[in-house]
Structure 1
Amino acid sequence: MSIKKVARIAGVSTATVSRYLNSPEQVKENTRSKVQSAIDEVGYAPNALARNFRRGKTSLVVVVLPQVGDPFLDNVMRGIWRVADEQGYSILIRDTQSNSHDFDEFTEMVFSKQADGILLLASISPFSEPEAKRSREKAHPPLVLGLESVTTELNHFPSVRVDNVAAAADGTQYLIQLGHERIGFIAGKPDSLLTHDREKGYRKAMRKAKLKVENGWVVEGEQTIDGARRATRRLLAHKQRPTAIFCANDEMALGTVHEIKNAGLRVPEDISVVGFDDIRYAEVMDPPLTTIAQPAEEIGERTMRRLVQAIDGGALDKDTDTSPEIVPHKLIVRKSTGNAPR
């Protein structure tokens, strides 16, 4: 059904029908009623692709994440989907598989305006180095970081995140309050700024309490369950075995608790464990996990809203506000932590 037939039935011009479809607030109420009645009568469906082409928009946003299925990122995505649906955007998910490959096809799609904006969720940049350089020198398509920047080249983009240093310090300080002095830390990947910030918070709290971090108490867990199991075995074999272990994410905490039990030890009677993120499995672990909670869905919602604002305002330039938006974290105390053993 054509727009001309709608106009003829409503007794208005095609320009009025077009104005109603694109900016209904600019059309008088009684005219809006006539046009809508005509649309309902003939079953007219606007061509969204053509309309977006005229507007110079695609109503498509690309979300780049390190891996599909991450339980914490799933909750962030829930918030993104909610706002995207509300604002009329579709989502295309790009999974980097945590590798720093060049994504030439992705780069071409973004810079040729086949997408209105980009959300990076704790992910490496999907752009090849020449494109990353170009993005700094010229106006970049709107890009917002959900969670933290994982590389320094992304620091100049706006973000929505918790204060990872303060959050990790709070988790460590809680263990210190329980009487623990030998506290190990299982980090993520060494090239991740997220890992650096959480380790920085751990060391800050230990230093404030005048507690020494022994060599071998900070080990890499690769941000995975298997990596954390290997890291935990190293901590358990240390000549000064920690009485508590702080893991840089909950997935690693799962592996840590499992490995402690495999060694015939108890959580928390022998070793306390703290995680980070409060994923959906944290509360049903055995024992339930003490962790630092990030408001995942709120981060997703705020990230998407900030991107929509950037899209409406145009490409990023030197006047764009790129300061991080910090959301509050919360220490959730459960049964995986207890007083330090004598």
Structure 2
Amino acid sequence: MPTMADVARSAGVSVATVSHVLNGTRPVLPHTRQAVLDAVDELGYTPNTLARSLVTSRTRSIGLAVSAISNPYFTEILQGVEAAAREEGYGLLIADPHDDPVHEQRVVRLLHERRVDGVIVAPSAHPEDLVAYLTRHAVPTVLLDRAVDTTAGTTPRFDQVCAENADPTARLVTHLAELGHRRIGLVAGLPGLSTTGERINGYRYGLAAAGLPYDERLVVHGDSDAGGAERATARLLSLAAPPTALVSANNAMTIGALRTLRSRGLTVPGDIALCCFDDFAWADLFSPRLTAVAQPSRELGATAVRVLLERLAEPERPARTLRLPCSFVHRTSCGCPEEPEKGTVA
């Protein structure tokens, strides 16, 4: 295989100049740069990233471990991560932990063994083994979307990038209460996830702000997927006094809730109002159009990359948790006839 020295001889320049052209580490005269690129093309030179990583201890690659990659929310996060990594000259290795704590640790270990410079992980509901592995091996890490309490005892904290969850959920509840609803049900996510707990807390805050009592029978877990939400919504509708409005805590569960409502012959918002956490591309194509909280998914992914690169540049800097604001997207599934302008939820 041609080497960097071969490229330098062909272009009539030094090896250092070839390195500067290929790595962008120093300005090079345009005609010299073109000579190097022509030599690279003519010889078919490919940089030896393995050899370079042995010298620099960096592979310029990032590992990303997120479950439900097919979910539009995580797909957009992935797009944000990929775009930000590419802009900084980093490659991306992707794995799906399937929200399984055992598989989660396995895929993160595989990413680490492939010498990624750092990892971005959306942790499972039981990330104890993951946290222990990352801590033991001092892997530069950003926890994404789902926060983990790593402050207890001597366990070090990790950088975390998440959306606001409680206040936006409370906003959905208070909006429904303003429309006259007094029994508002919540289809909550998978128990143990921080997003699930935070959105339940937001639901309770919203009820309290509206002067409504909390009834634990109106909170059911849809386990963050459509099938679970179908069953959870059926349980709510089977109550002696069923809710007149629903809040669904993620986009997949919104689909499940709508399936159950349709199977029961119920219309939205005529028979029951519906608001959801997570906006998605076709939410305004439903009939009725879905009132939702929109998460800044691509920005979450891009921010996670930025925080990870800052961690790599300053390994000793204090860990931090960043919370990005969501937006309230007002449509018609809540029972409102019009669509006011989009507003930001702090």
TM-score by length of 2: 0.85
How has the CA–CA distance of structure 1 residues 198 and 287 changed in structure 2, closer, same or farther, with 3 Å as cutoff?
same
| Structure 2: distance between partners of 1:227 and 1:134 | 31
How has the CA–CA distance of structure 1 residues 196 and 173 changed in structure 2, closer, same or farther, with 3 Å as cutoff?
same
* Matching residue of 2:335: 338
How has the CA–CA distance of structure 1 residues 86 and 223 changed in structure 2, closer, same or farther, with 3 Å as cutoff?
same
How much has 1:17 moved relative to structure 2?
Answer: 3.1
* Matching residue of 2:322: 325
How much has 1:42 moved relative to structure 2?
Answer: 4.4
How has the CA–CA distance of structure 1 residues 14 and 283 changed in structure 2, closer, same or farther, with 3 Å as cutoff?
same
| Structure 2: distance between partners of 1:26 and 1:186 | 57
Gaps of 5+ in 1: none
How much has 1:202 moved relative to structure 2?
Answer: 0.6
| Structure 2: distance between partners of 1:125 and 1:63 | 18
Moved more, 116-125 or 217-226: 116-125
| Equivalence map 1:83-98=2 (5 Å) | 83-98=84-99
How much has 1:337 moved relative to structure 2?
Answer: 0.9
How has the CA–CA distance of structure 1 residues 88 and 19 changed in structure 2, closer, same or farther, with 3 Å as cutoff?
closer
How much has 1:287 moved relative to structure 2?
Answer: 2.1
| Structure 1: distance between partners of 2:318 and 2:146 | 16
How much has 1:31 moved relative to structure 2?
Answer: 5.3
| Structure 2: distance between partners of 1:239 and 1:325 | 42
Count of aligned pairs between the two proteins: 331
* Matching residue of 1:167: 168
How much has 1:142 moved relative to structure 2?
Answer: 1.4
Moved more, 223-232 or 46-55: 46-55
| Structure 1: distance between partners of 2:314 and 2:299 | 22
Equivalent position SS for 1:25: coil
How has the CA–CA distance of structure 1 residues 260 and 66 changed in structure 2, closer, same or farther, with 3 Å as cutoff?
same
* Matching residue of 2:307: 306
How has the CA–CA distance of structure 1 residues 124 and 199 changed in structure 2, closer, same or farther, with 3 Å as cutoff?
closer
| Structure 2: distance between partners of 1:268 and 1:94 | 39
Quick check: 1:223 aligned with 2:224?
Answer: yes
Equivalent position SS for 1:141: coil
Superposed CA RMSD: 2.7
Gaps of 5+ in 2: 337-346
* Matching residue of 1:188: 189
How much has 1:5 moved relative to structure 2?
Answer: 3.3
Equivalent position SS for 2:87: helix
| Equivalence map 1:262-301=2 (5 Å) | 262-301=263-302
Whether the 8 Å CA contact 1:79–1:301 is kept in 2: the answer is yes
How much has 1:29 moved relative to structure 2?
Answer: 6.7
| Structure 1: distance between partners of 2:41 and 2:139 | 38
* Matching residue of 1:148: 146
| Structure 2: distance between partners of 1:58 and 1:305 | 17
How much has 1:64 moved relative to structure 2?
Answer: 0.8
Q: One-letter code of the match for 2:146? A: E
Q: One-letter code of the match for 1:178? A: L
* Matching residue of 1:233: 234
* Matching residue of 1:75: 76
Equivalent position SS for 2:101: coil
| Structure 1: distance between partners of 2:201 and 2:296 | 21
How has the CA–CA distance of structure 1 residues 168 and 91 changed in structure 2, closer, same or farther, with 3 Å as cutoff?
same
Equivalent position SS for 1:245: strand
How has the CA–CA distance of structure 1 residues 104 and 163 changed in structure 2, closer, same or farther, with 3 Å as cutoff?
closer
* Matching residue of 2:339: none
How has the CA–CA distance of structure 1 residues 142 and 124 changed in structure 2, closer, same or farther, with 3 Å as cutoff?
farther
Quick check: 1:100 aligned with 2:97?
Answer: no
Equivalent position SS for 2:217: coil
Moved more, 160-169 or 302-311: 302-311
Q: Cα deviations across residues 141-161 of structure 1 (Å, max 9, x unaligned)? A: 211122122x43499222222
Whether the 8 Å CA contact 1:188–1:195 is kept in 2: the answer is yes
How much has 1:219 moved relative to structure 2?
Answer: 0.8
